[in-house]
């Protein structure tokens, strides 16, 4: 994904989500969802990008992973922006920036 190879990254990330679900590895699952959001956006599948990012955010908040919460806010706002919903993306980014450090 970081090497601008979203097509190659999609399948391993989707597989990682499935494996993480089976193992109960919620932080891994949240991380994969957050990454998958950017991959879907890069592939032009904006609805799936927003859904993945939103899922990553909700899961990150549920498990209390501050690092993944921050990544999720960045990625969900990016996914929303990529889908052309600029005002909504800005609102989401501002919400993320306004979070107190260490909480979700």
Residue 103, pLDDT above cutoff 80: no
* Mean of the per-residue pLDDT values of the chain: 88
Q: How confident is the model at residue 2, as a pLDDT? A: 56
Q: Is the dihedral of CA 83, 88, 89, 92 positive or negative?
A: negative
Q: How confident is the model at residue 95, as a pLDDT? A: 82
Residue of higher predicted confidence among 99 and 6: 6
Domains of the chain, each with CATH number or no CATH: 6-97 (1.25.40.10)
Q: At what angle do helices 46-63 and 66-82 cross, to 10 degrees?
A: 160
CA dihedral (97, 16, 26, 101) in degrees, to 10, reads -20
pLDDT digits (tens, 9 = 90+) for 7-57: 889 999 999 999 999 999 999 999 999 999 999 998 999 999 989 989 999
Does pTM top 0.85 for this prediction?
Answer: no
Tell me the HSE value of 44 on the side-chain side, using a 13 A CA sphere: 0
**60, 34 in Cβ contact below 8 A?**
yes
């Amino acid at each position: 994904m970081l090497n601008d190879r979203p097509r190659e990254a999609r399948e391993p990330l989707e597989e990682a989500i499935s494996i993480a679900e089976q193992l109960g590895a919620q932080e891994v699952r949240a991380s994969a969802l957050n990454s998958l959001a950017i991959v879907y956006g890069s592939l032009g599948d904006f609805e799936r990008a927003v859904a993945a990012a939103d899922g990553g955010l909700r899961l990150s908040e549920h498990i209390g992973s501050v690092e993944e919460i921050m990544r999720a806010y960045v990625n969900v706002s990016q996914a929303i922006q990529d889908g052309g919903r600029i005002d909504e993306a800005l609102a989401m980014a501002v919400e993320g920036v306004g979070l107190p450090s260490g909480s979700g």
